């Protein structure tokens, strides 16, 4: 690939990595990214790690 094209895509890759880090939620217990968002008992939002079962809100 020509160097000019590679130079143009670098900023796109960096933005994608930043966006991915901003949207991922890791389990505070085991660090897994396998997290599900669920509706809590009181109508709030809670999270459950599908890897270890830890839940939090």
> pLDDT tens digits for 14-53?
665 555 554 578 999 999 999 999 987 788 999 999 999 9
Give the side-chain half-sphere CA count within 13 A for 32: 14
Q: What is the pLDDT of residue 22?
A: 47
15 or 1, higher pLDDT: 15
Q: What is the pLDDT of residue 40?
A: 75
Nearest 5°: the CA angle 18, 16, 46 is 60
Query: Would you state the structure tokens that stand for residue 1, as one six-digit string?
Result: 């690939």
Average pLDDT in the 2-24 region? Answer: 61
């Amino acid at each position: 690939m020509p160097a000019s094209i590679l130079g143009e895509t670098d900023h796109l890759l960096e933005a994608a990595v930043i966006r991915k880090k901003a949207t991922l939620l890791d389990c505070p217990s085991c660090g897994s990214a396998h997290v599900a968002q669920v509706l809590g008992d009181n109508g709030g939002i809670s999270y459950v790690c599908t890897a270890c079962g830890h839940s939090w809100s």
